[in-house]
Amino acid sequence: MKKQIICVLAVILIVSINKESTAQKIKLLKKTHLTNYPSASSLEFYKGKLYVIGDDASSIWILDKDHRVLDSIVLFPSKEKRIDKAIKADLESSAIIEVANKDCMVLFSSFSGAKRNKIIFVDLENNNFRQVNSHIDTVGIEESNIEGAANVNGKLVLSNRANTTHKNNSLVFTTLDSNGLGKNYKIINLILPQKKNIIGISGIAYIKEKDMLIFSASTEDTPNAYTDGTIGTSYIGYIKKISKKLDATDIKADKMISISKYLSEKSAQKIESMIVEEIKRGKAIVHLAADNDNGESTLFKLRLNL
């Protein structure tokens, strides 16, 4: 009996240590509810400023790292808070890319419909921008729904989101110039851990210091790239040594962590994007954007152990 008690106590101790270890890996630093900004779908961090892009918003909001509003860039003049779903550009992803020897914030539509074919180049020195129409080669992709973009050592990586009908997430490696996307594509299947519900990748970012592609993902009960569905669990994951895996057919995520319980929200949050503010001694400060399809947005600032 004494041995059984000792064994039970040992198991309890191990479980409690594991729970504490997991809790220490993620810490919520700040949460900001943006009641006047709809559908935050992409984030960028550049020279101390956080840029918030919404898929049906008329402007980009520029915030400081504590989520205080500094400025904005009007992209689509509109009297409405949200641009109509039938005509919106559906800007779902972005990346900082050097174009014509200047750092540009490049915004990408989802390419999930005839109106959703825009690429917007924002000059980060003066906030001027220009727009081009482009398209993505859908060969090898079941249904186009680009929701993430990242610059991996000069190579453009786009992520295509899965849904309940088309269950494969993909990474699309291509090129970009001032006229839009290049004509050469390499598509790699992104393999995520098996869960009960289909997990769709919703945003990607590259950590150069670690050669790591970090991503956000979430479950949403939707059969296609157009329809909103019931929101489920959200995740953060990463792929190590991504630049060494570009010749692969499939890439498996090295880690994926459910983050919903760390967000201090009563209702489920659909995390749409993430960006890294800084990384020091293996700890990353990241910002997340949540869009729960209600015309508002929520930002979260977390510290992660990587």
pLDDT of residue 5: 54
The answer to whether the Cα torsion of 87, 117, 190, 270 is positive or negative is: negative
Query: In the Cβ-directed half-sphere of 196, how many Cα atoms lie within 13 Å?
Result: 2
pLDDT of residue 266: 85
Q: Which residues contact 219 (CB under 8 A, 6 or more apart)?
A: 195, 197, 198, 199, 200, 231, 232, 233, 234
Amino acid at 10: A
Q: Which of 33, 69, 31 is nearest to 50 (CA)?
A: 69
Amino acid at 58: S
Q: Which domains does the chain have, with CATH numbers?
A: 27-305 (2.115.10)
pLDDT of residue 302: 97
Angle at 152 between CA 148 and CA 157, to 5 degrees: 35
pLDDT of residue 14: 46
pLDDT in tens, the chain (306 residues): 555 555 544 444 444 444 434 445 899 999 999 999 999 999 999 999 999 999 999 999 999 999 999 999 999 999 999 999 999 999 999 999 998 888 999 999 999 999 999 999 999 999 999 999 998 887 778 899 999 999 999 899 999 999 889 889 999 999 999 999 998 899 999 999 888 889 999 999 999 999 999 999 998 888 888 788 788 899 999 999 999 999 999 999 999 999 999 999 988 898 999 999 999 888 999 999 998 788 999 999 999 998
3-class DSSP assignment, residue 201:
strand
Query: Residue 81 is encoded by which pair of tokens?
Result: 């808070």
Contact 182, 167 (CB under 8 A): no
Q: Which of 247, 248, 251, 241 is nearest to 206 (CA)?
A: 241
3-class DSSP assignment, residue 72:
strand
Report how far residue 88's alpha carbon sits from residue 58's, in angstroms, rounded to the nearest whole number.
Answer: 9
DSSP 225: S
Q: Which residues contact 10 (CB under 8 A, 6 or more apart)?
A: none
Query: Residue 54 is encoded by which pair of tokens?
Result: 């919404």
pLDDT of residue 3: 54
Is the pTM higher than 0.85?
A: yes
pLDDT of residue 20: 39
Amino acid at 148: G
pLDDT of residue 17: 40
